[in-house]
Amino acid sequence: MKAIRVHEFGGPEVLKLEEVPTPKPSAGEVLVRIHAAGVNPYDTYMRAGTYALRPTLPYTPGSDGAGTVEAVGEGVKKVRRGDRVYTGRTLSGAYAEYALALEEQVHPLPANIDFKQGAGIWVPYGTAYHALHHSANAHASETVLVHGASGGVGIAALQIARAVGLKVLGTAGTPRGLELARREGAHQVFDHRKPGYQEEILQTTGNRGVDIILEMLANVNLSHDTKLLPNNGRVIVIGSRGEVTINPRELMGRRASIRAFTLWGITPSEEADIHAGIFAGLENGTLRPIVGKELPLAEAARAHKEILEPGSAGKIVLIC
């Protein structure tokens, strides 16, 4: 089979398309014919060797794939050959024609969701679901600011928050991103490149502030976020690419909090909750993964460059 292999940590150029043996499923494992693989920012941190999780070299990147079950190992009951599935992590890597996964890492893909969309489920929707429901404990009567609403996690968060009933505000940095954020659930959108946009957000809420901020770039925004919160407001740090200084007094006066997590650290019961919620939302049409760009597997390096560039508009997926 064809697979992307990384033999050394480094820039996008270390992603090489190679011919490797197709794996065989052992007991409790599933072999999936991957039709599309989702590209996530953490794939690039991992490839660079700068992420908390450092895979053993050589490895194939990718946790998010979608396709059909090719074969199952002994004892697998959840899926059968031919079933349509998406993966939430794999054993052998999703940037490949076939990926091996544990039985608990494959999940049914509803008939109304195609494979490209299926490649954009686990990390984006899992993160957004966990941020809103588990970390922020969001309520329908609250207002959420999705700070970075045009990318994978942001669009998922808009759709989930809107379906639950929250008042939804979103930011993006381009006209295309702003339009997408509005279309996918934001009641109001703001340009995070425009000076003073935070003041506009505050004014929109009658100077009360937003109950929840889902923050995609904490190193840039966290200090100002603390000033946008009302009493009991909370910032959920989802993404950060550096250090930041904050004034804790902004939190103290508001009884506010900053919470953070990584998707890798959630509990099995939270994970089960997430997949159940995602499946229901995909099936009933409230959750609709948006594919912004499709690239062939051979162009994984280009995908890794582009995922870190501004101007997001949905997911980048590799066609395998």
Residues in touch with ligand NAP (CB under 6 A): 40-42, 123-124, 127, 147-154, 171-174, 177, 192, 216-217, 220-221, 238-239, 261-263, 307, 310-312
> How far apart are CB 250 and ligand NAP at their closest, in Å?
18
Q: Coil, strand or helix: which one is 260?
A: strand
Query: Which tokens in the block code for residue 9?
Result: 């940590």
- Name beta bridge partners: 216: none
Distance CA 192, CA 207 (A): 18
Closest to ligand NAP by CB, 148 vs 281, is 148
Residues 6+ apart with CB under 8 A from 218: 225, 235, 237, 238, 239, 240, 244, 260
Closest to ligand NAP by CB, 99 vs 317, is 317
> How far apart are CB 179 and ligand NAP at their closest, in Å?
11
Where do the H-state alpha helices sit in the chain?
A: 41-48, 115-118, 122-129, 152-164, 175-183, 197-204, 218-225, 248-252, 268-283, 300-307
> How far apart are CB 73 and ligand NAP at their closest, in Å?
29
- Name beta bridge partners: 169: 145, 188
> How far apart are CB 192 and ligand NAP at their closest, in Å?
4
- Name beta bridge partners: 85: 67, 108
Closest to ligand NAP by CB, 72 vs 278, is 278
Distances (CA, A) of 246 to 186, 208, 223, 243, 249: 27, 20, 5, 10, 9
> How far apart are CB 83 and ligand NAP at their closest, in Å?
26
Supply angle C-alpha 179, 319, 59, rounded to 5: 115
Closest to ligand NAP by CB, 172 vs 228, is 172
Closest to ligand NAP by CB, 71 vs 213, is 213
Closest to ligand NAP by CB, 11 vs 310, is 310
> How far apart are CB 222 and ligand NAP at their closest, in Å?
10
Residues 6+ apart with CB under 8 A from 278: 107, 121, 125, 126, 129, 287
Closest to ligand NAP by CB, 88 vs 148, is 148
- Give residue number: closest CB to ligand NAP: 151
Query: Which tokens in the block code for residue 220?
Result: 């840039």
> How far apart are CB 219 and ligand NAP at their closest, in Å?
9
Which DSSP letter does residue 196 get?
T
